[in-house]
Amino acid sequence: MEWGYTTEVYGQDGLLEDGCYVKTTLFQGNTPVYRGRTACSSSVSNITVIKSGRYRLVIDITTDQGLTGTGEKIFQVEQV
């Protein structure tokens, strides 16, 4: 399965398009299978092929103003 993502980061004044960076790490188990860094408000697709299994997606956000944020999502991919 190919996967991708779109990032949109909002601050107090709305959508952050400049000076905002997203670091993405996708783990299968404890093994990183993808690492990337993009500007906020961007789309990435066809970045890697993932197989059946349990994954953890970790997103770290930083801005030129020194603001930070982090989040993660655990999901399961099953073969059909």
pLDDT at 9: 81
pLDDT at 48: 66
pTM: 0.77
Residue 61's beta-bridge partner residues? 22, 69
CB proximity list for 41: less than 8 A, separation 6 or greater: 7, 8, 9, 15, 16, 17, 20
Tokens 């697709």 — which residue? Answer: 45
With a cut of 50, list the residues of the chain below it in pLDDT.
none
Measured distance CA(77)–CA(14) in Å, rounded? 33
Measured distance CA(52)–CA(54) in Å, rounded? 7
pLDDT at 46: 56
Residue 62's beta-bridge partner residues? 21, 68
pLDDT at 34: 87
Q: Tell whether domain 5-77 is in CATH 2.60.40.
A: yes
pLDDT at 2: 62
